[in-house]
């Protein structure tokens, strides 16, 4: 049995759960997964058995319980320093764009919820969403150009920053968001990761294995 247990919600919908799950996978850290169906009559009680905030994800490590996606990623980074870029300036920028993702993009969250099973050819975008997507593209493009010389990710090799933006890659795919060439290439890099394909495949299977039975 793994020392770490990650409690997550439905893979189809839970963007916050994807972030630490993907980081653990990309760092090859062994962990047990507990998945709780969201949006059911029993969801709140089930989650409260693990989470003091009543929300997922939650990481459990011995007598340590960490909730909130970014806090979990920071906890992982304490024992795996390569989860952040090693160069000081790159690390500062990575932390800044991760925090921006954590607290920002409210219109995208509201109007383009993550749904891995969704694929639309043409979806109307509000002005607020378009403005936030322009900022998203600027982050992806600027980080890749300045810090991505050693690899395909925002800061070269995979880091917490990439885990934080992974749900945005899914949203851009699901809602057919038009991106410039560099941002589109980064989106495709994330979507092609083996753990991302694993997550998406599990999301496809959830309707019969979780949602149909528990909603």
Per-residue model confidence as pLDDT tens digits over 33-61 = 999 998 888 888 888 889 889 899 999 99
Residue 33's pLDDT is 97
Q: What does DSSP assign to residue 156?
A: B
Q: How many CA atoms lie within 13 A of 176 on its CB side?
A: 7
- pLDDT mean across residues, the chain: 94
Per-residue model confidence as pLDDT tens digits over 161-184 = 999 999 999 999 999 999 999 999
Say which residue, 215 or 201, is predicted with more confidence: 201
Residue 213 has pLDDT above 50, yes or no: no
Residue 29 has pLDDT above 80, yes or no: yes
Residue 142 has pLDDT above 60, yes or no: yes
| Residue extent(s) of CATH 3.40.30.10 domains in the chain | 4-81+205-214
Residue 215's pLDDT is 43
Q: How many other C-beta atoms can be found within 10 angstroms of the C-beta atom of residue 78?
A: 8
Residue 209 has pLDDT above 90, yes or no: no
- 98 by Cβ neighbours in 10 Å (0-12 / 13-18 / 19+) ranks as buried
What phi and psi, each to the nearest 5 degrees, are found at residue 6?
Answer: -110, 120
Q: Closest by alpha carbon to 166, among 145, 190, 144?
A: 190
Collapsed DSSP state (helix, strand, coil) of residue 87 = coil
Residue 20 has pLDDT above 80, yes or no: yes
Q: What does DSSP assign to residue 152?
A: S
Residue 1 has pLDDT above 90, yes or no: no
Residue 174's pLDDT is 98
Residue 77 has pLDDT above 60, yes or no: yes
What is the CATH architecture assignment of 82-194?
Answer: Up-down Bundle (1.20)
| CATH class of the domain at 4-81+205-214 | alpha beta
Q: What average pLDDT does this structure show over 21-44?
A: 94
| Residue extent(s) of CATH 1.20.1050.10 domains in the chain | 82-194
């Amino acid at each position: 049995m793994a020392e770490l247990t990650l409690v997550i919600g439905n893979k189809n919908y839970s963007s916050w759960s994807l972030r630490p799950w993907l980081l653990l996978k990309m760092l090859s850290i062994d962990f047990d997964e507990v998945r709780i169906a969201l949006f059911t009559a029993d969801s709140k009680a089930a989650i409260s058995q693990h989470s003091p905030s009543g929300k997922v994800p939650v990481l459990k490590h011995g007598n340590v319980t960490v909730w909130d996606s970014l806090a979990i990623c920071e906890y992982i980074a304490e024992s795996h320093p390569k989860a952040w870029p090693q160069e000081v300036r790159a690390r500062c920028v990575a932390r800044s764009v991760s925090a921006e993702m954590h607290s920002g993009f409210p219109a995208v969250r509201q109007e383009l919820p993550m749904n891995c099973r969704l694929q639309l050819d043409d979806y109307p975008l509000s002005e607020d969403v378009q403005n936030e997507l322009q900022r998203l593209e600027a982050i992806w493009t600027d980080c890749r150009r300045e810090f991505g010389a050693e690899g395909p990710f925002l800061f070269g090799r995979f880091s917490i920053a990439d885990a934080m933006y992974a749900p945005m890659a899914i949203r851009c795919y699901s809602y057919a968001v038009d991106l410039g060439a560099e941002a589109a290439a980064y989106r495709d890099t994330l979507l092609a990761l083996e753990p991302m394909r694993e997550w998406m495949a599990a999301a496809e299977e959830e309707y019969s294995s979780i949602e149909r039975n528990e909603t």
